[in-house]
Structure 1
Amino acid sequence: MTVRRALALVIGAVMCTGVLGTGCAQQPSKASSRNSQPPGTSASPQAGPPRAFPRPLPGVGPAMRARLPDASRQALVVTGATESSNRAQAVLYERYPAQGWRAVAGPWPAHNGLRGWTDDHEAGDLHTPVGVFRLSDAGGRLPDPGTRLPYDQDPEFAVSGTGHLGEPLEGSFDYVIAIDYNRVPGTTPLDKTRPLGEDKGGGVWIHVDHEGPTNACVSLSEEHMRALLTALDPGKEPVVVMGPESVLER
């Protein structure tokens, strides 16, 4: 081998070694580096399902919800279209630990006071009081339909005459549920004790509808009264939340 050829072979070997050291060997791409994870691991954390929150009482805003007793798990929401409306809609809700409030009966058509609603009820003003009130006692002229509330069957629940539209009132008190407005809970709805005084009215009930507005009560059909009476459970501390939509939603 000539000296010239030997020199050429040495130079070529040196050049190839340099090229191999600076990139001839295959390098992993950025993409392949990112995707190279140990078995059983994820390339990026996966977002979990959105957190669910218990549903608040529908149609009732924060101001009125703040008046709900903490232990109440049943609420009859009676909503009037306007402050002067004497027609309303009633829905019975129950509260579940994970789901929150859920409708269990209704909507049912209802009547309320002839002149609508008020947050400052006075005796004889023909308005239904606005607010949150407990439902603790029931009664009526007819036998107990199977309610868990204390029930007083008494012939004194009889009523006669005509209502504001000339409709007969007979049978209106066949079933009643006392609304705990200006009364002593734990007594018959017929009890006339008025802790706030006679001027603030009383005897505000949920009773059988007579196809017309009331003096101050809320009225439902006889069928819906029976359904409500059998659904209410004193262990769930039932309340009625009632008033015009504009006030309930505050």
Structure 2
Amino acid sequence: MINRRTTVTLLASPLLLTGCGGGAAATERRTPSAPAAPTTTPSPEVQAEQAPQGIPGLGPTRSAAIPERCEQAVVVTGRGKDSPVCTVVLHQRSADGWQAGAPWPAHNALRGWSAHHVLGDLRSPLGVYTLSDAGGLLPDPGSRLPYHQSGGFHSPGTGFKGEPLEGCFDYVIAIDYNRKPGTSPLDWTRPLGARRGGGVWLHVDHGGPTHGCVSIAKAHMKDLLRTLDPDRHPVVVMGYADWLAA
């Protein structure tokens, strides 16, 4: 599945006036120019206020990993390295910098996060990933991303807390971790190999930890689907708070 004067100061040069007979030269009287106003350099505090607003919570390493052309970033901030609880915020770039939306409560994998996700580790992969494709069991609610409706998104069974999983794949957005962008979220192509897992999605929350995905309320999934625009090159930035701050 899966928005960049030069004041030219004319210095008056003496105007040489020559008489008819090539007599004595006269010089035009010049009015002295006013002294230039002193220039001042804004204080670091003022410069910081004038600089475009960055994404709160992201350090220089994570900020640099966001592609320059990206104008929408879904930031998933985990409570801790081993925690399944997180917060999701959609940030959109404007002329004044990144503007944050409302924080949404969310879940990630049961055992937290991993820099080297493998199949069955019950951890969500750390990183910055593009968002290219969407889909779900229900009809397209107005997604801007390509949307694939299918019965294959049926989700029977129960979660880690015994909660029913039915409906958690009503809407999904594929996170481009170990998948081929431009295909259905159900596509099983795994460029890194099957052992590195896959099928990591943003999907509807079922009230408990996931196997590796990130889950938010159904209404918020619909908001994302209607907002994320492929022309603005959306990404997800996901990890626990200390990792994001690096």
Alignment of 1:38-187 (within 5 A): 45=38, 50-51=46-47, 52-97=50-95, 99-103=96-100, 105-187=101-183
Q: 1:44 to 1:125 in 2, by over 3 A?
A: same
CA–CA distance in 2 between the matches of 1:47 and 1:193?
58
Question: Could you list the runs of 5+ residues in structure 2 that have no partner in the other structure?
Answer: 1-30
Instruction: Give distance in 2, aligned partners of 1:57 and 1:221.
Output: 23
- 1:35: which partner in 2? none
Take 2:238 and 2:223, find their aligned partners in 1: how far apart are those partners?
19
1:192 counterpart SS class: coil
More helix by share: 1
Structure number with bigger Rg: 1
CA distance in 1, matches of 2:142, 2:173: 13
**Paired positions, count:** 210
The percentage of counterpart residues that share the same residue type is: 56
Q: Greater RCO between the two (CA within 8 Å, min separation 6)?
A: 2
* Match 1:230 to one of 214, 226, 233: 226
TM superposition score normalised by structure 2? 0.81
1:12 alignment counterpart: none
Cα distance in 2, alignment partners of residues 118 and 62 from structure 1: 20
Aligned position for 1:34: none
SS at match of 1:106: coil
Match for residue 195 of structure 1 among 191, 196, 217? 191
For the residues of structure 2 that align with 1:208 and 1:70, how far apart are their CA atoms? Answer: 29
Offset of 1:199 from its aligned partner?
0.4
Give the drift of 1:43.
Answer: 10
CA distance in 1, matches of 2:35, 2:71: 44
Which whole-Å CA distance do the structure 2 matches of 1:90 and 1:226 have between them?
Answer: 14
Report the Cα distance in structure 1 between the residues aligned to 2:36 and 2:118, rounded to whole angstroms.
69
Unaligned runs of 5+ in 1: 1-37
Q: CA RMSD in A?
A: 1.8
Secondary structure at the aligned position of 2:54 is classed as coil
